[in-house]
Amino acid sequence: MRHPSEGVLRRLVDEPAGVTDDDRAHAAGCPTCLRALDGARADAQLVGAALATPTADLDADAAWARLSTTTTAPVRQASVARGRWRTAVRRPAVAVLSAVVLVTGAGVAAANDWLPIFQTERVDPVEVTSADLVQVPDLSAYGDLQITEEADPQEVADAATALERTGLAVPEVAELPEGVTGDPAYQAAGVVSGTFTFSAAKAAQAAAAEGEVLPPPPAGVDGSRLRIEAGPGVAAVWSQPTGVPTLVVARVVAPKVYSSGVPFETVRDYLLSLPGLPDGLADQLRDLSADGGTLPLPVPAELVTSSIAEVNGSTATVLTSRDGLFAGVVWVEDGVMTGVAGSLSADELLSVARGLR
Among 29, 32, 55, 178, binds other proteins (CB under 8 A): 55
On the CB side of 120, how many CA atoms lie within 13 Å of its CA? 27
Residue numbers 297-316 binding other proteins by CB under 8 A = 302
- Is residue 32 involved in binding other proteins (CB under 8 A)? no
257 bridge partner residues: 118, 228
**Nearest distance from C-beta of residue 179 to other proteins, angstroms:** 21
On the CB side of 88, how many CA atoms lie within 13 Å of its CA? 22
- Is residue 46 involved in binding other proteins (CB under 8 A)? yes
Q: Measured from the CB atom, is 90 or 315 closer to other proteins?
A: 90
Q: What's the CA gap between 74 and 336, in Å, rounded?
A: 40
- Is residue 86 involved in binding other proteins (CB under 8 A)? yes
Within 129-184, strands assigned E span 143-149, 154-156
- Is residue 134 involved in binding other proteins (CB under 8 A)? yes
- Is residue 70 involved in binding other proteins (CB under 8 A)? yes
The backbone region for 43, taken as left when phi is positive above 0, alpha when psi lies in -120 to 50, beta otherwise, is alpha
The backbone region for 68, taken as left when phi is positive above 0, alpha when psi lies in -120 to 50, beta otherwise, is alpha
- Is residue 219 involved in binding other proteins (CB under 8 A)? no
Alpha-carbon radius of gyration of the chain = 25
Q: What's the CA gap between 274 and 260, in Å, rounded?
A: 20
Q: What's the CA gap between 2 and 7, in Å, rounded?
A: 14
Nearest-CA neighbor of 116 among 269, 256, 233? Answer: 256
Among 22, 34, 91, 322, binds other proteins (CB under 8 A): 91
> How many residues bind to other proteins according to rule CB under 8 A?
63
- Is residue 75 involved in binding other proteins (CB under 8 A)? no
Among 40, 106, 117, 281, binds other proteins (CB under 8 A): 40
Residues in the chain: 357
Q: Measured from the CB atom, is 74 or 241 closer to other proteins?
A: 74
**Nearest distance from C-beta of residue 328 to other proteins, angstroms:** 18
- Is residue 14 involved in binding other proteins (CB under 8 A)? yes
**Nearest distance from C-beta of residue 245 to other proteins, angstroms:** 13
The backbone region for 132, taken as left when phi is positive above 0, alpha when psi lies in -120 to 50, beta otherwise, is alpha
Nearest-CA neighbor of 101 among 119, 74, 128, 77? Answer: 119
Q: What's the CA gap between 96 and 313, in Å, rounded?
A: 29
Q: Measured from the CB atom, is 58 or 157 closer to other proteins?
A: 58
Provide the b/e sequence for 193-226 (b: ≥16 CB within 10 Å): bbbbbbbbebbbebbeeeeeebeebeeebbebbb
**Nearest distance from C-beta of residue 180 to other proteins, angstroms:** 21
**Nearest distance from C-beta of residue 244 to other proteins, angstroms:** 10
- Is residue 80 involved in binding other proteins (CB under 8 A)? yes
- Is residue 79 involved in binding other proteins (CB under 8 A)? yes
- Is residue 35 involved in binding other proteins (CB under 8 A)? yes
**Nearest distance from C-beta of residue 289 to other proteins, angstroms:** 25
Q: Contact region for other proteins (CB under 8 A) — 68-76, 157-165, 258-266, 311-319?
A: 68-76
Q: Contact region for other proteins (CB under 8 A) — 71-79, 218-226, 254-262, 342-350?
A: 71-79
DSSP 3-state of 307: strand
Q: Which residues contact other proteins by CB under 8 A?
A: 5-11, 14-15, 18, 35-36, 38-40, 42-55, 58, 60, 63-64, 66-67, 70-72, 74, 77, 79-80, 82-84, 86-88, 90-92, 130-131, 133-134, 137-138, 141, 206, 209-211, 302
